[in-house]
Structure 1
Amino acid sequence: MTSSQHQNSSSAGSVSAAEQQAPATVADGVKPQITAKQAQRINAPVRNMIISMVVLVVCIVPVLWLMPQPNKDPYQAEVDLPKVAYEAGEASSFAVAAPELEGWHYNFARWNSNQADKINYWETGQITGSDHFITLKQADASKTNDSWIAQQTNNAAPQGNESVSGVNWDVRTGQNDKDETVTYYIGEVSGTTVIMYGSDVPGTDFAQLADAVVNYQKQPTATASPTSTSDTGIQ
């Protein structure tokens, strides 16, 4: 054997020995081994996160339990209607419409003065017996006009007429800012222009309020004298 052949044979043997002594890797199919301390360091963040979440839940639950529950009926509000109506009647040139229907509830009542167009008006909001909401506006008919009515009804389109309690009500519909269909009833009652409106309100509710307004205006008893000490609502 020549010397060069002997050297090649030695080198081949050396490489094989080195390969046999090389550390095993994951690619070789052998799982790496870690110590107990290394495992503790790896698991520590997960354990700390779980502990933090448990502590957070323990802190939040009592707070949520002690918080007052939201009002299930956000439209409910206490309104001293006779007092507000009396004050408004003193400020206006007409008896304001303030009928109280059984099963209905006033959400607000106020007199709106100092209007830019000089047409001051009475305004109320009521929750109907069927849980709908109707706003009523009333102004002196001698001061209102078609432009004022169009403004108050957002230029709603005429749909027809309804006769309720001897009053011919002009019915119009339009859209509000929420793209809801709003129905308007406009009528002249006892020398005043009355506008009633609401979204998705059945005609029976409008008819019920219209009838109550007409009959109330014949004898506006609620504005005869003030009652207790709530705010007047005059603006």
Structure 2
Amino acid sequence: MIEQQISGYVEACKVKLGPEAGVDETRQCLAPAMELNPEHSLVMEMIHTAQMHEEERKFMAEQKRATDAKAARGAAHYQKAMSIYKKGQLAKAIAEFEKFLKTPYPRSESLKDQANRQIASITKELKSKVDFLYDQCKALGGKNRYKEAYLSCDKAANEDPGNSEVKEFRDRMHSELRREMKAIYEDSVLEESLGNVDTAKEKWKKIMQENLDFDDYTKKARSKLQKYGVDF
């Protein structure tokens, strides 16, 4: 008689609750059966099944949260690369998009397609910009306008830090400029030693105007001018 009652309660709960019921809900439904025999195999089996389903749902929910978080990080990474591009940092943007592509973000197929298109577009844009600056640099160098040539090549090198050809030409322009500044500075020192301080000052001012700010001859010329109370 008790066996039949327990079996009836269990079957009724299965119909009422279905397979998605939680442990607490299952225990509550099985309360009449548990009063008769809390350790009955049918009761224990149904509670155990509810526990397994509940743990599985929790696991799946955690997996979904983790996947959602990774997908969100992927979207944020893509936006970071786009933000770098919008700042005009083309080479850095390409590197960031490539880093994004190498990272296994979930649900990122569409963004990765966009990233590949961005890389192709930005690479073309970068080449055009660097080629323009480099051509400008070479043209200025051909006119012996070494400071302007250096600055143009330096812009190209900053746009594309891995471009060794541009860097080598930039350094050559610096060497040519230093050769000119050295000659002017040596003349200025000679004029100073002969007592022609005003002539020497003009040469130092010329160096300050025509040389690069960071170059040693600029620093030497500034020091000489300061010696004679001239701020430049």
Assess same fold via TM > 0.5: no
Report which of the two has the higher share of strand: 1
RCO comparison, higher one (Cα < 8 Å, 6+)? 1
Report which of the two has the higher share of helix: 2
Q: What TM-score do you get using the length of structure 1 for normalisation? A: 0.25
Q: What TM-score do you get using the length of structure 2 for normalisation? A: 0.26
